[in-house]
Amino acid sequence: MLWRELRLRWRTCTLRLLALCLAALLCTHFSAELKRKSLSQPGLILKVPPKEPGAEVYNRRPDEVPSRRQVIYVRRSSSNGRQGGHSGVRKRNTLQPVRWHIDLQPWAGHSHSLEEEARRFLRYITNSQITCSHLVTNGLTDHVVDTLKPWTVCLDNKFSLAHQIRSKQCRVYSLGLGEEENIFEFSMASEGCEVHRFDPSIPSAHIHEAEGLWHHRLSVDWRDPNPAIAPHRLHSNTKKLKTILNEFGHWKIDVLKADMESAEWKILENIILEGIIEQIGQLVLEIHLHWPGFEVSGNDSSVVRYWYSLFKELEQKDFKLFYTYKDLSKPQLFLKKDVFNASSCYILSWVNTRWT
C-alpha cells in the first residue's frame, strides 16, 4: 500500500518537473525569438532560388500547380544591391510605405476642361520619348502592316531584353481575356523566352502549349478574390499580379503584355501602387479610351487626368515610351465622343530604362 502510494507520488513529481522544464524552455525560446525579431529589420524580400533563374516553371510538368513552397524568403542584407545574375533588376525597398492612391498630376489648365486634358493626354500617347534602334513586332523587324495587332518590343542592345534573350533568361507574361491570336507569344517563345499566358477561358488549369509557352487559367485582376467567397464558387481564378509572382516564385518579368479590355487602368494602378512595376522590363499595353474603364469614375476631365497621371507615374519610374500605335480599325471615339481625331484604341510600349 505504502509502496504504491510512494510510486504514485514519485510519478506526479516527475510529471510536474517535466512540465516545469518544458515551460521554461518555451519561455526562453520565445524571448529569444522576440529579441531576434526586434533586432533585425522587418524587411523580408522575395528571392528566386539562385539556380538557373527562370527555370523553375519552365521545367515543371503542366499538371503541377505552382505552390508557395517554391518561394524562398530571405532576410535583406544590405540596401539596394543588384541581384546576382539578373540584369538591372533592383531589389525593391520593402520598407516603402504602402500607397493607396496614385499621385494625380495638376490639371492641364485652369478651366479643368475635357479639351485641355484630352490634348495633353493624346500628345503623351502619340509621341515616343526614346528611340529604339531595333523594334520587333510579333517576331518581325520589318513593319508589315497586316491584320495582326502590332505587339512591339525593343531589342536594342541598350536595354536588358536583348541580353536576357541571348542568355536564355527571358520571361514574358501575357495577360488576356480569351483573345484569338497568339503570334506574339509564339514568337517570343521561339526566341527562347519562357512565356506565361494568363487567360481565364482555357479548359484546364495549366497547359504546356509549346516549347517555352505555358497557359494558365488565371485572370489577372487589381485585387485578390474576396476570401469570404469559397474558391469553388468563383467561376474563374482571379489574382493580383503580385500574388501570381509570389506563387510562381518569379522575381522579374522581362516583358509584360496586356490586352485587358478596359481593365488595364486599374491593373496598371495596382502594379504601380504595389511596386511590381519595378520588376518589369518592358510594358506593352493596349489601352481603351471609348469609356473610362472598369471602376474608373468621375467626370470626363477627371478620368483623362487620371489616365495621364498613371502614365506620369510610369515616367517617374523611368519607363520611356518607345512605340505608339493608333488603331484606325476601331471606332474613332474618345469617351463616347467623336472628337480630337482620337481612336478608342492604342497600343503603347514602354521600356524600363533602369534595366540596362
Bridge partners of 173?
Answer: 196, 256
SS3 82: strand
Q: To the nearest whole angstrom, how small is the minimum distance from the Cβ of residue 104 to ligand NAG?
A: 10
Among the listed residues 302, 317, 330, 353, the single contact to ligand NAG using CB under 6 A = 302
CB-count burial class (<10 Å; 0-12, 13-18, 19+) for 317:
middle
Q: Which C-beta is closer to ligand NAG: that of 77 or that of 341? A: 341
Nearest residue to 149 via CA among 265, 238, 261, 241: 261
Among the listed residues 119, 326, 330, 354, the single contact to ligand NAG using CB under 6 A = 326
Q: Which C-beta is closer to ligand NAG: that of 28 or that of 127? A: 127
Bridge partners of 220?
Answer: 239
Q: Which C-beta is closer to ligand NAG: that of 49 or that of 109? A: 109
SS3 244: helix
Among the listed residues 9, 82, 112, 166, the single contact to ligand NAG using CB under 6 A = 112
Measured between alpha carbons, how far is residue 90 from residues 63, 195, 275, 321 in Å?
32, 22, 11, 21
Q: Indicate the helix (H) or strand (E) that contains 320.
A: strand 319-326
83-102 residues in contact with ligand NAG (CB under 6 A) are none
Applying CB under 6 A, the span of 171-179, 195-203, 244-252, 296-304 interacting with ligand NAG comes to 296-304
Among the listed residues 93, 167, 299, 316, the single contact to ligand NAG using CB under 6 A = 299
Among the listed residues 160, 164, 174, 301, the single contact to ligand NAG using CB under 6 A = 301
Q: To the nearest whole angstrom, how small is the minimum distance from the Cβ of residue 340 to ligand NAG?
A: 9
Applying CB under 6 A, the span of 167-175, 186-194, 280-288, 294-302 interacting with ligand NAG comes to 294-302
How many chain residues touch ligand NAG (CB under 6 A)? 8
Applying CB under 6 A, the span of 6-14, 94-102, 298-306, 348-356 interacting with ligand NAG comes to 298-306
Give the phi and the psi of residue 140 in degrees, each rounded to 5: -115, 145
330-349 residues in contact with ligand NAG (CB under 6 A) are 341
Q: To the nearest whole angstrom, how small is the minimum distance from the Cβ of residue 305 to ligand NAG?
A: 9
Instruction: Find the angle CA(319)-CA(149)-CA(207) to the nearest 5 degrees.
Output: 90
Measured CA to CA, the distance from residue 207 to residue 198 in angstroms comes to 11
Neighbours of 82 (CB within 10 A): 11
Q: Site residues (CB under 6 A) for ligand NAG? A: 112-113, 298-299, 301-302, 326, 341
